[in-house]
Amino acid sequence: MLKKEELLAKMRDERVVVINVLPKSAFQKLHIKGSENIPLTEDHQAFTVEVLKTHGKDKDFVTYGHHFGLLDSYEASAALIAGGLKAQNYSGGMQDWFAAGYPSEGSTVVLREPAPPANPPSFQ
């Protein structure tokens, strides 16, 4: 299971693509800074085709959803792996990331900025 600290470190690699698998409306409210939105559809093969079409197969993908316990991001990473891609799931999701004060974007961030952590992570 990928931890938020590991994900933050991976994001420094330009070959890593972080994908929010939630609907566009949820992505607009809150997402990991630098991630992109490709919603997981009922047709998991269509999701994989969309990722391939957008990024090709030479990237490392990390999927995430809203919070720990939801299967959407796990199913997305499993679909990508089944499609021959390299993928991992960040199961902590957006709630875990945002609560830790990690780089986030969206309308919710403007409304409620979390308290900064004692040792804030750098993102670049």
Domain-wise residue ranges, the chain: 4-111
Predicted confidence band of residue 112 (pLDDT cuts 50, 70, 90): low
pLDDT at residue 1 is higher than 60? yes
Q: Which of 47-56, 105-114, 115-124 has the lowest mean pLDDT?
A: 115-124
Max Cα–Cα distance, the chain, nearest Å: 42
For residue 72, the model assigns a pLDDT of 92
For residue 71, the model assigns a pLDDT of 85
CA-CA distance, 67 to 3, in Å (whole number)? 13
Per-residue pLDDT, averaged over 35-44, amounts to 95
3-class DSSP assignment, residue 25: helix
Domain 4-111 has CATH 1.10.3300.10: no
Per-residue pLDDT, averaged over 98-117, amounts to 75
Say whether pTM exceeds 0.95: no
6-43 exposure pattern, b = at least 16 Cβ within 10 A, e = fewer: ebbebbeeeebbbbbbbeeebbeebbbeebeebbbeee
